[in-house]
Amino acid sequence: MPNLYVIATPIGNLEDMTLRGIRVLGEVDAILCEDTRVTAKLLQKYDIQKTLISYHSHSKLSKVEKVFELLAEGKNLALVSDAGTPCISDPGVMLVSEIRERMSRFRLDIHIVPIPGPSAVISALSASGLPSSEFLFLGFLPHKKGRETLFKEIAASERTVAFYESPHRILKALESLQKFAPKKKIVIARELTKIYEEFVSGTATELLAHFEAHKDTVRGEFVIIVR
């Protein structure tokens, strides 16, 4: 039975790669990745040499067909993202969905195997100090359409809510939270597992003041947690 391994990769620190993940990357016939340059750096770290096949949000259906052909031939493949767990706010979900649909259509047994590891949202929640026995994860919020509606839902939620934001929109996100959820506690995790990793907390107003006073930190990747 051919295997498609869905392998989590480090979100920053390359030492966060799991032993199982390293072993499987060294055993598969080829690796599907968002950016071959990013994955090549990870493989170099662990002295792994493999064929890399690009698969990203702009990949065409022909790429999915090629992947399915390789699996149908009995090849073992790995799917990785640039950072974190594939298919979580990641284009890999489209590939896995299509492979599962074709498995049913062509009655082909393919074992889709998750190999867990780093996840930005889980890492942020674990160190946030906010309740996380249940939480709502929104991924990346839309740039325009439906964005205000989501902030209203965040304000009304009785659960912890987590989402990702870019440095270009982090201040606008805080302004929206200031407008719709001024009293809620917010924890922002920035550049997780990297040299400049930082956690800051407070109300939206307090966090806006923080970033106004530390403009050099409005960069990197952000996880926002609201309760």
Q: What is the CATH number of the domain that holds 64?
A: 3.40.1010.10
One domain for residues 35 and 76: yes
Q: Are 126 and 222 found together in one domain?
A: yes
Domain of residue 182: give its range.
Answer: 120-226
What is the token pair recorded at 50?
A: 């493999």
What is the pLDDT confidence band of residue 163, given thresholds at 50, 70 and 90?
A: very high
CATH value at residue 149: 3.30.950.10
* pLDDT value for 60: 81
76 plus 130 within the same structural domain: no
Q: What is the DSSP string of 205-218?
A: HHHHHHHHH-GGGS
Q: How many domains does the chain have?
A: 2
23, 108: one domain: yes
31, 111: one domain = yes
Instruction: Give yes or no: residues 7 and 103 share one domain.
Output: yes
Are residues 159 and 217 located together in one domain of the fold?
yes
| pLDDT at site 107 | 87
Given this model, what pLDDT does residue 144 score? 86
| Domain-terminating residue out of 115, 133, 154 | 115
- The residue from 67, 86, 115 where one domain ends is 115
Rounded to an integer, the average pLDDT of 13-27 is 98
**Letter for the amino acid at 38?**
V
pLDDT at 57: 82
**Residue 61 pLDDT:** 79
pLDDT band with cut points at 50, 70 and 90 for residue 162: very high
Q: Are 70 and 43 contained in the same domain?
A: yes
**pLDDT greater than 90 at residue 195:** yes
Q: Are residues 82 and 26 in the same domain?
A: yes
pLDDT per residue as tens digits for the range 98-155: 999 999 888 889 999 999 999 999 999 999 999 999 999 999 999 888 999 999 999 9
Question: Is the pLDDT at 177 greater than 90, yes or no?
Answer: yes
Task: Report pLDDT for 110.
Answer: 95
Q: Note the pLDDT of residue 56.
A: 87
Query: Are residues 107 and 151 both part of a single domain?
Result: no
Please state the three-class secondary structure of 142-178 as a single string.
Answer: CCCCCHHHHHHHHHHCCCEEEEEECCCCHHHHHHHHH
pLDDT band at 176 (very low <50, low <70, confident <90, very high): very high
Q: Using the 3D structure, point to which of 71, 94, 115 is the last residue of a domain.
A: 115
Question: How much is the pLDDT for 104?
Answer: 86
Strands (E), 86-159: 111-115, 135-140
- The CA distances from residue 98 to 85, 151, 167, in Å, are 18, 32, 32
Residues 155 and 108 in one domain: no
- pLDDT for 108 equals 86
> Can you tell me the distance from the alpha carbon of 7 to that of 118, in angstroms, rounded to the nearest whole number?
10
In terms of domains, do 146 and 129 share one? Answer: yes
Residues 28-81 have pLDDT tens digits of 999 999 999 999 999 999 999 999 999 988 888 788 999 999 999 999 999 999
